[in-house]
């Protein structure tokens, strides 16, 4: 995806920062040895240098903003809400870089200019203060804060608007559990888990709550986070999906127990055709395993908690179409080309999970279910093949190319 590009920029800006530091260190050791009389002349030269440095540093800070993975980084936003948030960050980073640079330069100047030299044992003039200067460094920060405060307040109110009545908005009720995410589409009457499927170029309204402890719903590349509170205390937020398809990483951002680190989810942005297919497929009746023994084991040992289609219980992650998802349990990434510990084919991942769920996510609610080898393999095979086949041709092509890019 964009990763390669952003890494290039990253490398570039690292270089830029490096240069700046070099320049700064030269400025530090700069040859200002005219003594007191030469200070003025020297100062002018310095000021010019500092001005250049300031611009460079601010530029570096802004360049940094293009860093990071496009599916994960808050600095590489892919949706309007995250972009607004990054804009605010850029304003504040620029102002703050200015402040830091001014402080550093004064500090460096003072430390070199006024260090006690051997034999210099005089007592400096004891200055009580300077009202003009003190007013300057009270008023200038106030002005800077107004520059930052106005857009802050505007954005706060803009991002707090209630879009749940918008005609085209997709409403999703998010319920956080230790350590998985439940997504309910109230307008469609469907429930899924771990993978939020949403159409391109639309507004998604999130109504978030928790079933147990506090969690926080965060998709860095699309929007900032919102806490999930218990007991009917529903928090609302919204985000806009990009105008192209893609998969984004979501995370839990509030300490929620041992497996807090592993409470990931995916946001899959699909084209309108695929989205319509997906909705339809989710509503279709469930298909049970063909082998009656496996079907029986699946119904007795899995559907007591989980659901597929209209069958089973609603308390634990809905498994409808699990074979189509990007991940198993939010962290075991399904890929035919595994590189890391948490990657494997969808069959392998389901198998691994069923073998010992506590090994994958310590402390989660699913115990190690007693399954025979045949049942283990049969259920894994069945679930791996439980696909909704909703992706349009276009989406499949996009997926293939982006997957290839990622692997390069």
Partner 1 sequence: MAHGSHAVKRYTGIMDWLTTVDHKKIGILYLLAGGFFFLIGGLEAVLIRIQLWKPLNDFVSPDTFNQLITMHGTTMIFLAVMPVIFGLMNCIVPLQIGARDVAFPFLNALGFWTFFFGGVLLNVSWFLGGAPDAGWTSYVPLASTTFSDGPGVDYYVLGLQISGIGTLLGGINFLVTIINMRAPGMSFMRMPMFTWASFVTSMLILLAFPALTVGLVALMFDRIFEGNFFDPSAGGNIMLWEHIFWIFGHPEVYILILPAFGIISEVVTTFSRKRLFGYSSMVFATVLIGFLGFMVWAHHMFTSGLGPVANALFSIATMLIAVPTGIKVFNWLFTLWGGSIKFTAPMLFAIGFIPTFVMGGVTGVMLAAAPADYQYHDSYFVVAHFHYTIVGGLVSGLFAGVHYWWPKIFGRKLNETLGKTTFWFFIIGFHMTFLIQHFLGLLGMPRRIFTYLDGLGFNEMNLISTIGAMLMGIGVICFVINVFVTSAKPKHATNDPWEDGRTLEWAIASPAPEYNFAQLPLIRGYDAYWKEKREGNKEMQPAEPLGPIHMPSPSILPFFMSVGLFISGFGFIFHQYVVAGIGLAITLGCMFLRSVIEDHGYHIEPEEIQAKGV
Window 130 to 189, contacts with partner 1 (CB under 8 A): 130, 133-134, 137-138, 141-142, 145, 148-149, 152-153, 155-157, 159-160, 178
Binding part of the chain for partner 1, among 17-25, 224-232, 300-308, 383-391 by CB under 8 A, reads: 224-232
**How far is Cα 303 from Cα 300, in angstroms, rounded to an integer?**
6
Q: What value, to the nearest 5°, has the Cα angle with vertex 349 and ends 182 and 353?
A: 65
Give how many residues touch partner 1 by CB under 8 A: 95
| Positions in 310-369 near partner 1 (CB under 8 A) | 331, 339-342, 362-363
Q: Smaller CB distance to partner 1: residue 72 or 247?
A: 72
| Positions in 365-404 near partner 1 (CB under 8 A) | none
Q: How far is CA 261 from CA 72, 179, 215, 222, 294, in A?
A: 15, 9, 11, 20, 33
CA dihedral 397, 278, 163, 88 (to 10 degrees): -30
Q: Which helix (H) or strand (E) holds 230?
A: none
Min dist. Cβ of residue 91 to partner 1 (A): 8
How does DSSP classify residue 246?
E
Question: What length is written for the chain?
Answer: 408
Q: Smaller CB distance to partner 1: residue 84 or 391?
A: 84
**How far is Cα 391 from Cα 382, in angstroms, rounded to an integer?**
20
User: Encoding tokens for residue 50?
Assistant: 């500092």
Does 104 help bind partner 1 (rule: CB under 8 A)? Answer: yes
Min dist. Cβ of residue 323 to partner 1 (A): 22
Cβ pair 114, 192 in contact under 8 A: no
Does 62 help bind partner 1 (rule: CB under 8 A)? Answer: no
Which residue among 29, 118, 165, 231 contacts partner 1 (CB under 8 A)?
231
Residues 6 or more apart whose Cβ sits within 8 Å of residue 13: 60, 63, 64, 66, 67
**How far is Cα 167 from Cα 383, in angstroms, rounded to an integer?**
36
Which residue among 259, 274, 318, 320 contacts partner 1 (CB under 8 A)?
259
Binding part of the chain for partner 1, among 39-47, 82-90, 283-291, 296-304 by CB under 8 A, reads: 82-90
Does 89 help bind partner 1 (rule: CB under 8 A)? Answer: yes
Does 226 help bind partner 1 (rule: CB under 8 A)? Answer: yes
Which residue among 11, 43, 48, 106 contacts partner 1 (CB under 8 A)?
106
Cβ pair 361, 355 in contact under 8 A: no
Q: Smaller CB distance to partner 1: residue 8 or 389?
A: 8
Q: Smaller CB distance to partner 1: residue 249 or 322?
A: 249
């Amino acid at each position: 995806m964009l990763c390669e590009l952003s890494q290039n920029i990253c490398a570039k800006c690292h270089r830029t920062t490096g240069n700046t530091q070099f320049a700064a260190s030269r400025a530090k050791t700069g040859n200002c040895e005219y003594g007191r009389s030469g200070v003025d002349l020297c100062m002018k030269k310095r000021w010019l240098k500092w001005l250049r440095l300031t611009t460079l540093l601010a530029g570096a800070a802004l360049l940094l903003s293009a860093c990071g993975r496009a599916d994960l980084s808050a600095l590489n936003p892919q949706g309007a809400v995250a972009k607004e948030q990054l804009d605010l960050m850029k304003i504040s980073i620029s102002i703050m870089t200015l402040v830091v640079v001014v402080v550093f330069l004064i500090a460096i100047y003072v430390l070199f200019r006024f260090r006690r030299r051997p034999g210099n044992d005089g007592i400096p003039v004891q200055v009580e203060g300077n009202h003009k200067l003190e007013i300057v460094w009270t008023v200038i920060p106030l002005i800077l804060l107004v520059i930052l405060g106005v857009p802050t307040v505007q954005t706060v109110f803009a991002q707090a608007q209630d879009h749940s009545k918008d005609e085209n908005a997709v409403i999703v009720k998010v319920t956080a559990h230790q350590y998985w995410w439940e997504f309910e589409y109230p307008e469609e009457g469907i429930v899924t888990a771990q993978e939020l499927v949403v159409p391109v170029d639309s507004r998604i309204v999130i109504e978030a709550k928790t079933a147990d402890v506090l969690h926080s719903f965060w998709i860095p590349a699309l929007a900032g986070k919102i806490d999930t509170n218990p007991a009917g205390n529903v928090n609302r937020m919204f985000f806009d999906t990009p105008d192209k398809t893609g998969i984004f990483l979501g995370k839990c951002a509030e300490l929620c127990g041992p497996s807090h680190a592993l409470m990931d989810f995916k946001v899959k942005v699909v084209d309108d055709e695929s989205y319509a297919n997906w909705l339809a497929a989710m509503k279709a009746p469930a298909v049970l395993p063909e082998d009656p023994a496996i079907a029986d084991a699946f119904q007795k040992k899995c559907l007591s908690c989980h659901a597929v289609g209209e069958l089973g219980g609603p308390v634990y992650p809905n498994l409808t179409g699990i074979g189509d998802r990007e991940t198993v349990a939010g962290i075991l990434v399904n890929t035919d080309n595994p590189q890391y510990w948490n990657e494997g084919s969808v069959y392998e991942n389901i198998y691994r999970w069923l073998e010992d769920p506590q090994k994958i996510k310590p402390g989660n609610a699913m115990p190690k279910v007693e399954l025979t080898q045949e049942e283990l393999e049969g259920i894994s095979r069945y679930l791996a093949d439980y696909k909704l086949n909703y992706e349009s041709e276009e989406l499949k092509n996009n997926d293939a190319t982006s997957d290839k890019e990622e692997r390069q």
